[in-house]
Amino acid sequence: MPTLCSADEVDPKNATILRHAAEVYRKQAKTCRELATPAQGDDRAFWLGLSDYWLKLAQVDDEQKALEPTIMPLRRFPSPWKTEEHDTCFIVKDHTGLNLAYVYFEPEPNCRLALKLLSRGEARRIAAKFAKLPQWLDE
């Protein structure tokens, strides 16, 4: 006689059904149909009704999974990060050369004051501290 729940479908650490619930529900529906085959009358109707119930649960679980947002893979920016100076900015790059940050500055003091932009020294210090983030996070 088929069982309605087997140990391989339950997580032994916390006794919860694993994430593939729709698959488990379909197995339960199949088991109910197998039990309905030799049965007659009300027993057969009971097992077929229970099979339909399990299939509806599987459909609901599939719909729920379709609505869940996909999880973005964790993206790594390999260290060490380095800073490059250009005409009007510092660029912070990761180990592979991917640009992570642009810190702009204005070399002309008059324009800088009027537009409230960073000086070269301020931008360099900010870019240098930004480039040290991986070291600080590892501590």
Tell me if 73 is assigned to some domain: no
Q: What residue numbers bound the domain in which 34 lies?
A: 7-67
Mean pLDDT of 53-59: 90
How many Å from the N-terminal Cα to the C-terminal Cα in the chain?
Answer: 58
pLDDT digits (tens, 9 = 90+) for 88-117: 999 999 988 999 999 999 888 777 777 788
Q: What is the pLDDT of residue 7?
A: 40
Does residue 18 sit in the same domain as residue 49? yes
Q: What is the pLDDT of residue 10?
A: 47
Summary mean pLDDT of the chain: 81
Domain count of the chain? 2
- Per residue in 51-89, is it b (16+ CB within 10 Å) or e — as a string? beebbebbeebeeeeeeeeeeeeeeeeeeebebeeeeeb
Mean pLDDT of 70-98: 84
Q: What is the pLDDT of residue 62?
A: 85
Tell me if 97 is assigned to some domain: yes
Does residue 86 sit in the same domain as residue 116? yes
Mean pLDDT of 108-127: 86
User: Which residues lie below 8 Å from residue 112, measured CB to CB, with a gap of 6+?
Assistant: 105, 106, 118, 119
Q: What is the pLDDT of residue 2?
A: 52
Tell me if 1 is assigned to some domain: no
